[in-house]
Amino acid sequence: MRKTVIVWVDGALKPVDAVRISPLDHGFLYGAAFFETLRTYGGRPFLLADHLARLRRGLEAAGIRWRLEEKAIARAVAEVLEANGLADGV
């Protein structure tokens, strides 16, 4: 029989199955070590290649394998902007 994992969240013990992290949570959004903040103009990320190059260098230095492609990231950014009715954003 497998024991339920209990975690500490928001000042209380909870079963891990009951815990959900908001996609707006600061730690979830920015992680512990690697992130880039993108500025968008007209629905397109500004200097995306430069941002991703910095991110890739940091990840590689930490031994974390890079799996994302620039086109996929640009597409995801565009979808988020569209879903939120935005063209410009950070």
Run of H or E including 26: helix 26-30
Quote the pLDDT of residue 32. Answer: 63
Cα 22 to the center of its chain, rounded Å: 12
pTM: 0.59
Across the 90 residues of the chain, what is the mean pLDDT of every consecutive 10-residue run? 72 80 78 80 92 91 84 83 81
pLDDT digits (tens, 9 = 90+) for 41-65: 998 899 999 999 999 998 888 888 8
Using only C-alpha atoms, the chain has a radius of gyration, in whole angstroms, of 17
